[in-house]
Chains A and B, each alone.
Chain A
Amino acid sequence: MMKISIQRMVEYRTDFVLWSAISLFWTLFALLFYDIVFLQTPTIAGWSKPQVYLLIGVYMIVDSATWGIFWRSIKTYVDSIFDGKLDFVLVQPIDSQFQLSVKYASFTQVPRLCIGIFLALKYLPPISLFQFVIFLFLMVIVLLIIYLLWFLTATITFWVEKLENITEIVPSLRRIWNFPSDVYSGPLGTLLTVILPLALISTTPTRFLLHDYAWNEVITLVVFATILFIITRLFFLYSLKRYSSVGS
């Protein structure tokens, strides 16, 4: 399916170039925002400028990966419930959830991914192999969390049939993990770091790169991802019973 996605992408070269340019523009604009903030203050919630930029690099890697791999697939998934094209996914001998999740992976986020990696490498302090391995593990976990949230909300479409903006809920939540989790305090902080630990998505992997081993946050993320995985899977399988396709 990855080969098919690449082939589809290069069939429409102008589309690919335009989307890549747009994603680059978004990235540069976001960086400009932080530059302006740091003109006014030396730290954000105790995080220095290099630390924040490392976090932004990690955020961009996560964001570009999720947008690139899942966005179009999730959108098509929602549309296919309404227009009946889900039929052709359900008859094939491949896990339907998997196919729906990655069928339309896109590579237009590659420039943004490169900027993210560049930023992360630029502000990365010296790290050990152990830190790198944990970091990679955490990146997989946080990508999984974002994907599961996205898929879970998209699955609601089975119950209401037409819900075009449902796929915009998770993208609108990205701002939560765009900042260090320390900016959230009180009940909101508890909500976003313990119950629904979205604020940890960029922060926890970045902490490990900064030699701050927040194992409690790792456990929180792993437990959350596991519960979310089970709920998403069961909800999807249960929701399939409501699928009514369309007429001939």
Chain B
Amino acid sequence: MSTVISVKNLKKHYKVYKKEPGLSGSLKALFSRTYETVKAVDDISFEIEQGELIGFIGPNGAGKTTTLKVLSGLLYPTSGEVSVLGYNPWDRKPAFQKQFSLVMGQKNQLWWDLPAIESFLLNKAIYEIPDKQYNDTVDKLVQLLDVKDVLKVQVRKLSLGQRMKCELIAALLHNPKVLFLDEPTIGLDVVMQKVMRDFIRDYNKEFGATIILTSHYMDDVKELCKRVIIIDHGKKLFDGVLQNIIDKYAKNKILSVVLSTETTKKELEKIGEVKSYDYPQATILVPRKEASKRAAALLEKFSVADINIEEPPIEAIIRDVFQNKG
């Protein structure tokens, strides 16, 4: 597999103006302003191979969208080297732009007051898509996403889910090799989220497209991405297989217990941190390395009907990573 995306020591800093609150602050700002440098992306490096579907996660303001925008050529980097499909994105060469697509959740490129099909036709002209390819792609995507009935309705009259589906179609008409998806499922209901995930997975498999997905929904990441990059305050905290996050960052394991004989919470605390206790069920956190030993102690000291040793949910681990910064 070849490297499609290469990012080396990327930095993107902004100068932002900080205003004091209130009217006096506004008046003062007329004459004198205080500026601060925000390091939206602060020296990150990574490489992505062809066909990978990467999850790019981090708390709000981490630098995920900024990174995607640099990769798309929208933002000029402060420093560092970026290469996508062998091109410098900032050059914004048409040959490069015809090979990638950027989809941003709840933001639309479709013409607001025209039916989606008109935007598709415009994109066909802009991307110079041959008639046959256009017709085949539209037919296939419309069928996959089940939007045949809404293509001729004004975009502004569509629901969010319908709009996002049409946005995806518009973004994929030219069969891009690289897809940047910035929170594509945000605001969608659970059914629509599943539809979008299935579609993204199928598209990645069928076309071998390289996809970077940012999302705050861990289900998106869990279902779609083997590899995850975690970013916070512009810095890369983790880059690897999703499972390795658990191995690296999960400090505890969870003992889920069903007791045969009632006991007190204080007694259970001798085993570990009691997260919840509502007889007969108890949830106890124990250090990872001592999980087996503590489980054995639990079985010895208490009357247990059932016990499970589980990994903490990935969401909790990620939350800990964000709060503790690894």
Question: A43 in the interface, Cβ–Cβ < 8 Å?
Answer: no
Question: B237 in the interface, Cβ–Cβ < 8 Å?
Answer: no
Question: B92 in the interface, Cβ–Cβ < 8 Å?
Answer: yes
Contact partners of A240 in chain B: CB under 8 A? 76
Q: A residues 73-105 with Cβ under 8 Å of B?
A: 84-85, 87-88, 90-94, 96
The stretch among B94-102, B134-142, B309-317 that forms the contact with chain A is B94-102
Q: B residues 68-97 with Cβ under 8 Å of A?
A: 69, 72-76, 92, 94-95, 97
The stretch among A4-12, A28-36, A228-236 that forms the contact with chain B is A4-12
Question: A247 in the interface, Cβ–Cβ < 8 Å?
Answer: yes
User: What residues of chain B have their CB less than 8 Å away from a CB belonging to chain A?
Assistant: 14, 61, 64-65, 69, 72-76, 92, 94-95, 97-98, 100-102, 104-105, 107, 109, 111, 113-114, 118, 122, 126-128, 154, 182-183, 214
Contact partners of B92 in chain A: CB under 8 A? 90, 96
Contact partners of B65 in chain A: CB under 8 A? 247-248
Name B108's closest neighbour in chain A (CB-CB).
Answer: A88
A90, B74: Cβ atoms closer than 8 Å: yes
Name B183's closest neighbour in chain A (CB-CB).
Answer: A248
Mind listing 5 A-B residue pairs with CB under 8 Å?
Answer: A4-B111, A4-B114, A84-B107, A93-B128, A248-B183
Bound complex: CA A96 to CA B90 (Å): 13
Question: Which are the 6 A-B pairs with shortest beta-carbon distances?
Answer: A93-B94, A93-B97, A248-B65, A88-B109, A241-B76, A93-B98
Bound complex: CA A78 to CA B74 (Å): 16
Chain A interface residue count, Cβ-Cβ cutoff 8 angstroms: 23
Question: A226 in the interface, Cβ–Cβ < 8 Å?
Answer: no
B75, A4: Cβ atoms closer than 8 Å: no
Are A12 and B109 CB-contacts (below 8 A) given A91-B72, A243-B75?
A: no
A8, B74: Cβ atoms closer than 8 Å: no
Contact partners of A244 in chain B: CB under 8 A? 14, 75
B122, A1: Cβ atoms closer than 8 Å: yes
Question: A185 in the interface, Cβ–Cβ < 8 Å?
Answer: no
Say which residue of B64, B75, B118 sits within 8 Å of A7 (CB atoms).
Answer: B118
Say which residue of B75, B95, B114, B214 sits within 8 Å of A245 (CB atoms).
Answer: B75
Name A1's closest neighbour in chain B (CB-CB).
Answer: B122
B74, A12: Cβ atoms closer than 8 Å: no
Are A90 and B73 CB-contacts (below 8 A) given A4-B118, A4-B122, A11-B113?
A: yes
A93, B74: Cβ atoms closer than 8 Å: no
Contact partners of B182 in chain A: CB under 8 A? 248
Bound complex: CA A4 to CA B118 (Å): 8
Q: A90-B73, A243-B76 are in contact. List 18 more A-B contacts (CB 8 A).
A: A4-B118, A7-B114, A8-B114, A11-B114, A87-B102, A87-B104, A87-B107, A88-B107, A90-B92, A91-B73, A91-B97, A240-B76, A243-B74, A243-B75, A245-B74, A247-B61, A248-B104, A248-B183
Contact partners of A243 in chain B: CB under 8 A? 74-76
A245, B113: Cβ atoms closer than 8 Å: no
Bound complex: CA A119 to CA B228 (Å): 68
Bound complex: CA A85 to CA B110 (Å): 11
Contact partners of B111 in chain A: CB under 8 A? 4, 8
B126, A91: Cβ atoms closer than 8 Å: no
Contact partners of B100 in chain A: CB under 8 A? 91
Bound complex: CA A247 to CA B182 (Å): 11
Bound complex: CA A93 to CA B174 (Å): 11
**A3 CB to nearest B CB, Å:** 8
Bound complex: CA A4 to CA B14 (Å): 36
Name B64's closest neighbour in chain A (CB-CB).
Answer: A248
Bound complex: CA A90 to CA B74 (Å): 6
Bound complex: CA A247 to CA B98 (Å): 25
A93, B102: Cβ atoms closer than 8 Å: no
Per-residue CB contact flags for chain A residues 4-28 toward chain B (1 = under 8 Å, else 0) read 1001100110000000000000000
**B152 CB to nearest A CB, Å:** 12
Bound complex: CA A91 to CA B100 (Å): 9
**A33 CB to nearest B CB, Å:** 36
Name A247's closest neighbour in chain B (CB-CB).
Answer: B65
Bound complex: CA A94 to CA B64 (Å): 26
Name B94's closest neighbour in chain A (CB-CB).
Answer: A93
Say which residue of B97, B127, B128, B154 sits within 8 Å of A11 (CB atoms).
Answer: B154
**B304 CB to nearest A CB, Å:** 47
Contact partners of B104 in chain A: CB under 8 A? 87, 248
Bound complex: CA A119 to CA B137 (Å): 51
Bound complex: CA A94 to CA B127 (Å): 8
Bound complex: CA A11 to CA B152 (Å): 13
Bound complex: CA A88 to CA B97 (Å): 11
Name B15's closest neighbour in chain A (CB-CB).
Answer: A244
